[in-house]
């Protein structure tokens, strides 16, 4: 393993500029800066779910090792929120491997973002879950369904949804919150 020296000038760059440097120059010091900025938050998130210090550290390192490949595959607009979702998915996928089917279903139902990310990333092993989630989405009001689809599936911001739909910020926020709550209710009562 070689040592990567962090470049001081990178400290003043935004996350997105750091990603651009990595993608353009292949400079691993850029990945080191992202690690420096986000390792504590990532570790804390892992620990919140796993409740094991060593396993949380392992999961964090495992994910950071994948970061260069992930950045090459995904167009990241907002690193902090993308990394949070990616980290959460990583730890939830780890937990999924060790749970019974009923526990898995509850875990998924409590984490709508994770379900939506699975749908986007095309994990075919979860087809039944995705099918049930899509059925539940179709039972939402048209406004809730539209807002959830635009926000989670198309990664649109509230402002972009405002422009696309003509709804106000507060209406969109309400549709997303109510849609998530209704999705959770439909998914958790389906087998209950």
Per-residue tokens: 120: 């986007």
Confidence of residue 191 (pLDDT cuts 50, 70, 90): very low
In this predicted structure, what is the pLDDT of residue 192? 42
Per-residue tokens: 190: 């389906």
- 89 against 155, higher pLDDT: 89
pLDDT at 122 over 50: no
| Residue range 59-80: mean pLDDT, rounded | 92
Residue pLDDT, tens place only, 174-188: 998 898 888 777 766
pLDDT at 124 over 60: no
100-192, CATH topology level: Arc Repressor Mutant, subunit A (1.10.10)
pLDDT at 34 over 90: yes
Annotated domain spans of the chain: 1-98, 100-192
pLDDT at 106 over 60: no
In this predicted structure, what is the pLDDT of residue 105? 52
From the list 187, 1, 11, the residue with the least C-alpha distance to 111 is 187
Confidence of residue 190 (pLDDT cuts 50, 70, 90): low
Helices 112-121 and 127-138, packing angle to 10 deg: 120
Domains 1-98 and 100-192 alike in fold: no
No. of H helices and E strands in the chain?
A: 10, 0
Mark out the alpha helices in the chain (DSSP H runs): 15-25, 28-50, 53-73, 79-97, 101-109, 112-121, 127-138, 142-148, 158-165, 169-190
1-98, CATH topology level: Rna Polymerase Sigma Factor; Chain: A (1.10.1740)
Taking the whole predicted model, whether its pTM rises above 0.75 is answered as no
In this predicted structure, what is the pLDDT of residue 113? 52
Per-residue tokens: 10: 């990178």
pLDDT at 67 over 90: yes
Residue percentage of the chain with pLDDT more than 70: 74
């Amino acid at each position: 393993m070689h040592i990567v020296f962090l470049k001081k000038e990178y400290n003043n760059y935004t996350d997105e500029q750091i990603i651009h440097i990595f993608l353009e120059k292949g400079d691993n010091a850029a990945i080191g800066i992202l690690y420096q900025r986000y390792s504590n938050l990532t570790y804390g998130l892992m620990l919140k779910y796993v409740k094991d210090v060593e396993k949380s550290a392992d999961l964090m390192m495992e994910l950071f090792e994948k970061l260069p490949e992930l950045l090459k595959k995904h167009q990241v607009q907002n690193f902090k929120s993308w990394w949070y979702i990616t980290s959460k998915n990583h730890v939830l996928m780890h937990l999924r491997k060790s749970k019974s089917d009923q526990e898995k279903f509850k875990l998924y139902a409590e984490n709508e973002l994770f379900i939506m990310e699975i749908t986007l990333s095309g994990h075919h092993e979860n087809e039944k879950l995705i099918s049930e989630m899509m059925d539940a989405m179709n039972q939402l009001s048209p406004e809730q369904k539209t807002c959830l689809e635009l926000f989670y599936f198309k990664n649109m911001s509230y402002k972009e949804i405002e422009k696309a739909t003509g709804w106000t910020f507060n209406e969109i926020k309400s549709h997303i919150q109510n849609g998530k709550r209704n999705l959770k209710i439909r998914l958790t009562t389906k087998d209950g």
